[in-house]
Amino acid sequence: MGALQFIRRGELVQIAQFAPDQTLLDYLRLSEKSKGTKEGCNEGDCGACTVVLGTPHHGGVRYQAVNACILLLGQIHGKELVTVDDLARGGVLHPVQQAMVDAHASQCGFCTPGFVMSLFSLKHEGRKVSRTDVVEQIAGNLCRCTGYRPIVDAGLAACNTPADYWHVAQAETCAKLEAIQGDLFVGDTHCFFAAPASADALAECCADHPTATIVSGNTDVGLWITKQMRAQPRIIYTGRANGFADIKEHDDHISIGAGATYADAEAILVALAPDLGGLLKRIGSRQVRASGTIGGNIANGSPIGDMPPALIALGATLHLRGGPYYHHMPMEEFFVAYGQQKRKPGELVWRIDIPKPKPNQIFRAYKISKRFDQDISALMAAFLLTVEDSVIQDARIAFGGMAATPKRASKTELALKGKTLTEAQHAALDDFTPLSDMRASADYRNDVANALLKKALLEAVGAANTRVLA
Ligand SMILES: Cc1cc2nc3c(=O)[nH]c(=O)nc-3n(C[C@H](O)[C@H](O)[C@H](O)COP(=O)(O)OP(=O)(O)OC[C@H]3O[C@@H](n4cnc5c(N)ncnc54)[C@H](O)[C@@H]3O)c2cc1C
Ligand code: FES
Ligand code: FES
């Protein structure tokens, strides 16, 4: 039913047939023959393939940089696609391109299209941009010959130039995008790309096709396709389902729809627990955070996913939906064993409810990885300590990377209960037997996990003294 529809260079493009697991990068380079967008790593790490997607936003268009190599063509249904080939108009370079030339910010040029598109999206955020903002924006773009200083200079200069064609055309583009409506189903029952338009239709579609691959941001599934060469003939994409990414604030908790991306959820999560801000900035890159979802990070069941330990420590409840039926469980109960989660085929991770920390609680989250930016954790630790008159009334401690699943340190939690913060400083972890792998040795993991426990307890002393706990 229907055809894939998106806006490109101001025009509606319709594609009635395509392989469900075709990447956007392959479409651009092999079908459209737009070769400006480059293929480097093909796994979301280098940013050479960065393009920009526009989505309707308060009557205008929100432009976000994404990695085309791990985005499926079908995911751009209802979006505007902007690539580096589109920027120069009438023989005049776009202000971002001109700034790159002026700052001598390109040598071999292989990385340049990706940088240009990342900076294009930053320019379109329409805010005053600092050097730190530019550095954060390009953390997912690698350059091996020019060096970053001139690129950052170009970014700063480009973001302070006047409005461009895309600013001027926003209202018109928004109207064209909003006209693309309804469920998308391209293919037949054996081979299809489906993008239901409502949350109910999504749940029904997953229940009807329990063996199909559920795709949210595709930042994990994309690598099955490009690196493991695993064909994905039946795909149900969650990203068009109205209501599935809703974020709501209640008196004592927040609710995050599983389809919310990191970029969407960042503001409310940081307001809930400021330590989550530091963590979120280190999940992938701006491109990965624009596509990747909180629900996908939980559903993939990875022992080194960054959100689960933080959500477990905060006492989050996970809601699942299979067809019309809902059920829920404490977050930690979802992770049964390596590669095994409490989720039936066709069921969706639906929503996450996270209690707001109370005034007498301190929350800390620490990510340990080899690189600061764009790296998977060797270890992830999160602590929620309830402290009254310098005595620990309760402790919730969760680690990633220390076992086959994200896991609570139950023995340590019990040992800390009733201790004063001073007594607690001698505590040591007695919950895990970690493995050695390419990210870290077992000894390193044990040492660092104990150091993080100590760090959290020391910070709790400081927080209790100043009464600034959360
Ligand atoms: C370059 C790069 C850097 C990364 N860095 C980090 C990092 O720093 N920290 C980190 O934790 N992760 C990182 N990741 C991994 C990934 O981005 C996250 O796990 C992300 O949250 C996955 O979400 P997604 O929406 O893209 O999931 P998808 O790839 O769409 O799906 C992942 C899995 O979950 C299933 N699924 C998705 N949504 C649902 C749902 N609602 N219900 C049921 N099943 C569902 C899919 O079928 C699949 O099995 C990185 C990935 C890349 C490519
Ligand atoms: S080609 Fe490296 S991020 Fe896409
Ligand atoms: S200019 Fe050569 S990799 Fe950046």
Mean pLDDT of 34-51: 98
| Percent of the chain with pLDDT strictly greater than 90 | 95
Residue 314 has pLDDT above 70, yes or no: yes
The dihedrals phi and psi of 80, each to the nearest 5 degrees, come to -95, 130
Residue owning the nearest CA to atom 4 of ligand 1: 284
With CA atoms as reference, report the closest residue to 5 among 56, 116, 79. 79
The number of the ligand 1 atom at minimal distance from the alpha carbon of 283 is: 8
Characterise 128 by phi-psi region: left (phi > 0), alpha (psi -120 to 50), beta (else): beta
75 alpha carbon – ligand 3 mean position (Å): 29
pLDDT for 433-469, tens place per residue? 999 998 999 999 999 999 999 999 999 998 877 755 5
Name every protein residue with a CB atom under 6 angstroms from any ligand 3 atom: 106-112, 143-146
Give the number of the ligand closest to the Cα of residue 47: 2
The number of the ligand 1 atom at minimal distance from the alpha carbon of 44 is: 1
Ligand 1 binding pocket mutation candidate from 202, 220, 246 (most atoms within 8 A of CB):
220
Hey, what amino acid is at 308?
P
Three-state secondary structure call for residue 358? coil
Give the number of the ligand closest to the Cα of residue 295: 1
Q: Distance (Å, rounded) from C-alpha 164 to C-alpha 466?
A: 49
DSSP string, 60-88: EEEEEEEEGGGSBGGGGTTSEEE-GGGS-
CA 22 to chain centre: 21
Mean pLDDT of 366-391: 94
Tokens 């409810």 found at? 353
Residue 363 forms beta bridges with which residues? 384
pLDDT for 223-264, tens place per residue? 999 999 999 999 999 999 999 999 999 999 999 999 999 999
- Angle of helix 112-123 versus helix 95-102 axis, rounded to 10: 120
Ligand 1 binding pocket mutation candidate from 42, 50, 75, 214 (most atoms within 8 A of CB):
214
Q: Assess contact for 62 and 139: CB atoms under 8 A.
A: no
Residue 69 has pLDDT above 90, yes or no: yes
Three-state secondary structure call for residue 211? coil
pLDDT band at 1 (very low <50, low <70, confident <90, very high): low
Residues of the chain with CATH 3.30.465.10: 247-355
105 alpha carbon – ligand 3 mean position (Å): 9
pLDDT band at 222 (very low <50, low <70, confident <90, very high): very high
Residues of the chain with CATH 3.10.20.30: 4-85+169-237
pLDDT band at 12 (very low <50, low <70, confident <90, very high): very high
Q: Assess contact for 129 and 157: CB atoms under 8 A.
A: no
Residues of the chain with CATH 3.30.390.50: 363-466
Q: Assess contact for 158 and 119: CB atoms under 8 A.
A: yes
CATH code given to domain 363-466: 3.30.390.50
Give the number of the ligand closest to the Cα of residue 115: 3
Q: Tell me yes or no: is domain 4-85+169-237 CATH 3.30.450.40.
A: no
Residue owning the nearest CA to atom 2 of ligand 3: 108
Q: Distance (Å, rounded) from C-alpha 262 to C-alpha 284?
A: 10
| Longest CA pairwise span in the chain (Å) | 72
Residue 63 has pLDDT above 80, yes or no: yes
The number of the ligand 2 atom at minimal distance from the alpha carbon of 70 is: 4
Ligand 2 binding pocket mutation candidate from 37, 42, 286 (most atoms within 8 A of CB):
42
Residue 167 has pLDDT above 70, yes or no: yes
Residues of the chain with CATH 1.10.150.120: 95-163
* pLDDT at res. 111: 98
Q: Which long-range contacts (CB under 8 A, 24 or more apart) does 262-267 make?
A: 262/288, 262/289, 262/290, 262/292, 262/293, 262/294, 263/64, 263/289, 263/290, 265/294
43 alpha carbon – ligand 2 mean position (Å): 5
The number of the ligand 1 atom at minimal distance from the alpha carbon of 221 is: 29
Q: Distance (Å, rounded) from C-alpha 374 to C-alpha 95?
A: 28
Mean pLDDT of 322-338: 98
With CA atoms as reference, report the closest residue to 315 among 270, 260, 253. 253
Question: How does the average pLDDT of the chain come out, rounded?
Answer: 96
Mean pLDDT of 8-24: 97
* pLDDT at res. 374: 86
The residue ranges of DSSP E strands in 196-231, in sequence order, are 213-215
- CATH T-level topology, domain 247-355: 3.30.465
355 alpha carbon – ligand 2 mean position (Å): 37
Beta-carbon contacts of residue 18 (< 8 Å; ≥ 6 apart): 4, 27, 73, 74, 186, 193
Task: Let me know the angle formed at the C-alpha of 329 by 378 and 300, rounded to the nearest 5 degrees.
Answer: 40
- Angle of helix 148-159 versus helix 95-102 axis, rounded to 10: 140
Residue owning the nearest CA to atom 3 of ligand 2: 44
* pLDDT at res. 373: 87
Give the number of the ligand closest to the Cα of residue 141: 2
Residue 2 has pLDDT above 90, yes or no: no
Q: If you classify domain 95-163 with CATH, what class do you get?
A: mainly alpha
Three-state secondary structure call for residue 39? coil
Give the number of the ligand closest to the Cα of residue 223: 1
* pLDDT at res. 301: 95
The dihedrals phi and psi of 310, each to the nearest 5 degrees, come to -65, -45
Residue owning the nearest CA to atom 4 of ligand 3: 143
113 alpha carbon – ligand 3 mean position (Å): 10
Structure tokens at 103: 């700052």
pLDDT for 286-300, tens place per residue? 999 999 999 999 999
Q: Distance (Å, rounded) from C-alpha 145 to C-alpha 109?
A: 9
Name every protein residue with a CB atom under 6 angstroms from any ligand 1 atom: 43-45, 70, 213-221, 238, 258, 283-284, 288, 291-293, 295-297, 299-300, 305-306, 348-349, 374, 376
Give the number of the ligand closest to the Cα of residue 144: 3
Q: How much of the chain is helix, strand and coil, in % rounded to 5?
A: 35, 25, 40
Q: Distance (Å, rounded) from C-alpha 154 to C-alpha 132?
A: 13
